[in-house]
């Protein structure tokens, strides 16, 4: 299905992976508003995870927790892959982030944000993958082309 996805979708994927969560939201919202299910629900799930990450980056613990859960629920039926991306991978990463968010609680949201930002800078600087216990922003992984 990747060949049928519009260029704006791939722009949103790039924005998401660059941590430009609000821009990703805007790009996907324009697609989502014009679409019908099942693609509409797919876009909405990714959009909600992007907005959750935006909320977390702005210390809105409640908004982040709610939208991570809602986005994940919307995407569950699209596993393992859909629209040219690894949906299961995105759900696993988002689930880890949600679990870390819930374990730390609202009083420690600043600490989690700092860890996420530090991991993002480290990965960009030396291209290291985060360990599973190290908080990191989710990434959307395109399906490898054969």
Peptide bond into 47 cis (omega under 30): no
Task: Read off the pLDDT of residues 57-111 as tens digits, 9 standing for 90 and up.
Answer: 999 999 999 999 999 999 999 999 999 999 999 999 999 999 999 999 999 999 9
The rounded mean pLDDT for the chain is: 89
| Confidence grade of residue 133 (pLDDT, cut at 50, 70, 90) | low
Quote the pTM value: 0.88
Residue count of the chain, please give it. 146
Which domains occur in the chain, in start order?
A: 2-126 (1.10.3450.10)
Other Cβ atoms closer than 10 A to 30: 13
CA dist 38 and 25 (Å) reads 18
């Amino acid at each position: 299905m990747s060949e049928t996805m519009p260029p704006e979708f791939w722009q949103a994927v790039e924005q998401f992976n660059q941590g430009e969560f609000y821009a990703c939201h805007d790009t996907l919202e324009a697609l989502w508003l014009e679409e019908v299910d099942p693609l509409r629900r797919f876009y909405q799930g990714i959009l909600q995870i992007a907005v959750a990450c935006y909320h977390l980056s702005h210390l809105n613990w409640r908004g982040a927790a709610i939208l991570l859960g809602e986005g994940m629920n919307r995407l569950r039926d699209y596993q393992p892959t859909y629209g040219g991306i690894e949906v299961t991978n995105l759900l696993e990463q988002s689930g880890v982030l949600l679990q870390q968010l819930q374990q730390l609680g609202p009083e420690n949201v600043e600490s989690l944000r700092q860890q996420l930002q530090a991991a993002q800078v480290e990965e960009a600087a030396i291209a290291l993958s985060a360990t599973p216990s190290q908080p990191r922003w989710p990434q959307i992984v395109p399906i490898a082309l054969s």
